[in-house]
Amino acid sequence: MSTVLQLSNVVKSYGDAVALDGIDLFLPDDSYVSLLGPSGAGKTTLLRVIAGFETPERGAIRFAGRDIGGVAPYEREIGFVFQNFALFPHLTVEKNIAFGLENRKNNPVTDPQIVRRKARDMIALVGLTGLEERAVTQISGGQKQRVALARTLVTDPKMVLLDEPLGALDANLRMRMRSELRSIRERCGVTFLHVTGSETEALAMGDTVLVLDGRKIAQQGDSDTVYNHPVSPAVARFLNCYNIFSGVIEGLVFKTAAGVFPVGATVQPCAQKAYAIRYDRIAIRPAGTPAGEGEIAFEGAFLASEYTGSAITSFFTLDDGKVFEVETHLSHAAPESYEPHGRYSLIWKKDDAIVYA
Ligand code: ADP
Ligand code: MG
């Protein structure tokens, strides 16, 4: 697959504060890319640098085969969907979508017939047919999101940047818009770079997932690889599905405050030392159940459970006070109930853990 966008060693500071510290990334053409990072990680800054609203101090940006470092934002052919939609409240759905086409600096469309046709095509593409004349103050959050997207797509960008596009929507709608966004992207065939603070959203939506940590790209890969093989404890922490212990490796064991774990097959070279075991790789057994061949058994006291629909997350406290999470999928098993404060044996395969050393 060819590369549409490549950043090499991009650095951007605000005064003394470094927001992006040597960003290297490449985005495949015609794909959905998600960028995951916590609040303040520099996600918006990165999008603004790519769009040309901010000038980096260092580094190169190549887009569609050329260096765009000195190219004005409106000449980059990169669309931007802002976090809060930024619609014109006094205009209708159709006029909001047509606005960019009629008023862009480069090659504005002046023929009202053509404007109307393009706007209506876009309205159909994003599923807003019938709402053309509606004021944007009188449509739902999901519909506003579609208007914001249509307004960008109508200008025929070669790539679209979306800054937390689902953040303003309620949970139900957010789930539906995930697949909508993916299918709209497939229909227009350009790369979407979708920024989010939600690990589930990033993994569910991205063909490629980028993780922003410490002002750098910590990992880039397909969602399966990122989920199953996070390259650092920090990435594992963002994914919000690993119990992570800090400690040191000594020969064949990993020593933590909670105890000592035999090291299995997966040792990931990393500057930060940690031991990570996924929430859904752990079995809960009566206290005293011994570890089998290749297994680790650890005792904890049950705290509480939380249902998430298809799964249940159970929280335990270990003897050093650390909270340990176990996720059990409910498709086959009926939910077990555990005794409050009761002690249980928590068992996992040592080869399922990732040791960062
Ligand atoms: P995110 O979108 O991931 O939440 P941002 O890119 O908005 O992160 O911010 C990254 C860092 O840069 C933060 O520490 C933020 O305070 C700082 N920052 C962002 N925009 C500005 C600005 N215009 N002036 C000064 N600092 C800024
Ligand atoms: Mg932001």
Q: Is residue 303 within 8 Å of residue 313, measured between CB atoms?
A: no
Contacts of 279 (CB under 8 A, 6+ apart): 241, 242, 243, 313, 325, 326, 327
pLDDT one-digit tens code per residue, 218-264: 999 999 999 999 999 999 999 999 999 999 999 899 999 888 999 98
Q: pTM score, two decimals?
A: 0.92
Q: How far is the CA of 49 from the centre of ligand 2 (A)?
A: 13
The whole-angstrom distance between residue 304's C-alpha and the CA centroid of its chain comes to 28
- Centroid of ligand 1 to alpha carbon of 83 (angstroms): 14
Which atom, in ligand 1's list, is nearest to the CA of 39?
4
Report helix, strand or coil for 30.
coil
* Measured torsion, CA atoms of residues 123, 126, 130, 132, in degrees rounded to the nearest 10: -40
* Residue that the structure tokens 């405050």 belong to: 257
DSSP 92: B
User: Could you tell me the residue ranges of all domains in the chain?
Assistant: 3-228, 241-356
Of all protein residues, whose CA lies closest to atom 16 belonging to ligand 1?
A: 40
In CATH, the number for domain 3-228 is 3.40.50.300
Q: What is the pLDDT of residues 18-69, one digit of tens each?
A: 999 999 999 999 999 999 999 999 999 999 999 999 999 999 999 999 999 9
Is the domain defined by 241-356 classed in CATH 2.40.50.140?
yes
pLDDT along the chain (357 residues), means of 10: 95 97 97 96 97 97 96 94 90 95 88 95 94 96 93 94 91 89 94 96 96 95 95 95 95 91 90 96 95 94 90 93 93 78 96 95
CA atoms within 13 A on the CB side of 120: 8
For residue 14 and ligand 1, the question of a CB distance below 6 A is answered with yes
Ligand 1 in contact with 44 (CB < 6 A)? yes
Residue 323 burial (10 A CB sphere; 0-12, 13-18, 19+): exposed
